[in-house]
Amino acid sequence: MRVGSYKLATSLIVLGLVAGACSETKKSDTTAGSTKSSEAPSTTASTPGTAGESTTTVSSAGDELNKWALDYTGGTAGAASGSSVKVGYVNQEDFFPENTIGINAARDYINKELGGVAGKPIEIVPCNIAAAEDGAKCGTQFANDATISVVVTGTILVGNKELYDALNGKKPVIVGNGVTSDDFTTPAGQAFTAGSPGVVTGMGGYIVSGLSPKPKSVAILAQNNAAGKAAADFLFKPVMDKAGIAYTFVGIDDTASAADVQAALSSVGADKADVLVPIITIQQCINVYDAMKALAITPTVVTTGLCFGTPMTDHLKAAGEPGPVPSGWYFGGYGYSYFQPDLASGMKTYIAKVQQYGKPAPNSKTLEYTGFAGPEFSNLMTFAKFVNASKGAVDFATLDGAIRGFKGPMMLQVGPLDCGKQVILGLPIFVTVCASQMGIQLFKDGKWTSVADGLNGKPIDVTKI
């Protein structure tokens, strides 16, 4: 009897937990004794142009912004109606929830104000990657679903190859924010952004020919995973070799602690190097910032846009520093800036609309839009452009042709596109990458400055490095 009771209790606990899972999934987090964190979270967002220090209530977008968006997408003002056009969306939610903020905000904006796609509303069909096995699962799910018109990926660290293999030749694919090697080398789709092949190589190009005086030594700190090491070894070091600039390199684990990073910085000779290049995630960027302060070293830092976002802003705030990112750092990106929004690239429209339609990620009170949310927003806008241009045709041949033939301009990405033909540093392997230009911005003394980007008309063309 006793054993039976235990088994019954155990079974009930497991069943209840499973049911609890459904319950938690269905609804957002609930807070006992307070309504502050879960019920209608008050959306706060960094205000462009003011270094993200103050918060603002979002106002309705101006006609100017909508006009830009309508021109870009080729849509008609107003709300969409009728049967929906389904877009498969694959993302690793635990790691990169901001992608989802971007694509959902774009969907709502397109459906409510830009007339949808050829008048029809867009429906996002999500598929989350929680483990490597999910790559094949999401890929087959969408490849076999005739109602899915296109697949847009978010940011995925595992299962990428299986995902693309399943989709190759079955569905048009827009690769969102590529970070792994497969994202840049798959023939399954195209990425309208420069990705790490463009950004990391461009950072090297800027250090060689943009910094004055020309540095004599560079210290490189890269993530010790396949993508991080490949970026450092095959995209950055060759640029330094070609320019004859001496460099030192260390890799750090994904699980490296702040003390590890401090030791690594000291070991790589960051105190003596003219330039420090961290090619790392935001967790390690925070550690690099702390380590530089602790070691009291001030090399010129040239890094990627991975180093800005809410965790960095929160961390700097806790450390009593003003600004969303460390002062004096250079940031490589796609050529435009969240912090200096302009109309022509679509940045102003994006900022206004993501704040209007975006919802904070689960368990977060802050609307994170300065990371991968932007490119994801622009990818869906670009999809809308294709469907509007094809008068609503969403068959594979039409959309795949439109994606592969897209020459730009691409919202939030500088320069023309030439899909499948980019040869970077003599490597013809990046067949997915369409963009070849990138930009560098400097944050100093509370101000963002365009150093070499689309805003000052001096973006860096990585095919010429």
Q: Which of residues 367-426 bind another protein (CB under 8 A)?
A: none
- Least separation in angstroms between CB 237 and another protein: 6
- Give yes or no for residue 8 binding another protein (CB under 8 A): no
In the complex with another protein, which residue's Cβ is closer, 160 or 345?
160
- Give yes or no for residue 43 binding another protein (CB under 8 A): no
- Hey, what are 322's tokens? 């003003």
- Hey, what are 429's tokens? 């392997």
- Give yes or no for residue 262 binding another protein (CB under 8 A): yes
> Rounded CA gap, 419 and 436, in Å?
10
Select from 117-125, 157-165, 198-206, 406-414 the region that touches another protein (CB under 8 A): 157-165
- Give yes or no for residue 427 binding another protein (CB under 8 A): yes
- Taking every pair of Cα atoms in the chain, the longest distance, rounded to a whole number of angstroms, is 82
Using left for φ > 0, alpha for ψ between -120 and 50, and beta otherwise, residue 17 falls in: alpha
For another protein, the binding residues in 44-103 under the rule CB under 8 A are 93-95, 97
- Are 360 and 82 within 8 A, CB to CB? no
Among 43, 125, 229, 409, binds another protein (CB under 8 A): 229
3-state SS, residue 294: helix
Cβ atoms < 10 Å from Cβ of 58: 17
- Are 381 and 72 within 8 A, CB to CB? yes
> Rounded CA gap, 379 and 106, in Å?
9
- Least separation in angstroms between CB 448 and another protein: 23
Using left for φ > 0, alpha for ψ between -120 and 50, and beta otherwise, residue 244 falls in: left
CA distances to 211, 279, 322 from 325, in Å: 20, 16, 8
- Least separation in angstroms between CB 397 and another protein: 17
- Give yes or no for residue 171 binding another protein (CB under 8 A): no
Site map 108..137 versus another protein, x via CB under 8 A: --------------------x-xxxxx-xx
- Give yes or no for residue 283 binding another protein (CB under 8 A): yes
In the complex with another protein, which residue's Cβ is closer, 7 or 444?
7
Looking at 100-147, which runs of residues are DSSP E strands? 122-128
Select from 104-112, 252-260, 384-392, 445-453 the region that touches another protein (CB under 8 A): 252-260
- Least separation in angstroms between CB 195 and another protein: 11
- Using alpha carbons, select from 390, 385, 407, 392 the residue that is nearest to residue 74: 385
- Give yes or no for residue 431 binding another protein (CB under 8 A): no
For another protein, the binding residues in 198-217 under the rule CB under 8 A are none
> Rounded CA gap, 464 and 113, in Å?
40
Pairing of strands 329-333, 437-444: antiparallel
Pairing of strands 447-452, 437-444: antiparallel
Among 8, 79, 259, 344, binds another protein (CB under 8 A): 259
Select from 109-117, 161-169, 331-339, 407-415 the region that touches another protein (CB under 8 A): 161-169
DSSP code per residue over 334-351: SS--TTS--STTSHHHHH
- Hey, what are 41's tokens? 């979270």
Torsion angle, alpha carbons of 212, 217, 219, 225, to 10: 100
Among 32, 40, 42, 244, binds another protein (CB under 8 A): 32
CB contact set of 188 (below 8 Å; sequence gap of 6+): 164, 165, 167, 168, 169, 173, 432
In the complex with another protein, which residue's Cβ is closer, 282 or 442?
282
Residues written for the chain? 465
- Give yes or no for residue 311 binding another protein (CB under 8 A): yes
Among 46, 155, 185, 388, binds another protein (CB under 8 A): 185
Number of residues that bind another protein (CB under 8 A): 113
- Give yes or no for residue 274 binding another protein (CB under 8 A): no
- Are 279 and 221 within 8 A, CB to CB? yes
Select from 62-70, 104-112, 317-325, 387-395 the region that touches another protein (CB under 8 A): 317-325
Select from 180-188, 393-401, 411-419, 440-448 the region that touches another protein (CB under 8 A): 180-188
Cβ atoms < 10 Å from Cβ of 373: 30
For another protein, the binding residues in 11-30 under the rule CB under 8 A are 12-27, 29-30
In the complex with another protein, which residue's Cβ is closer, 381 or 424?
424
- Give yes or no for residue 250 binding another protein (CB under 8 A): yes
In the complex with another protein, which residue's Cβ is closer, 22 or 40?
22
- Give yes or no for residue 182 binding another protein (CB under 8 A): yes
For another protein, the binding residues in 135-154 under the rule CB under 8 A are 136-137, 139-141, 143-144
In the complex with another protein, which residue's Cβ is closer, 58 or 243?
243
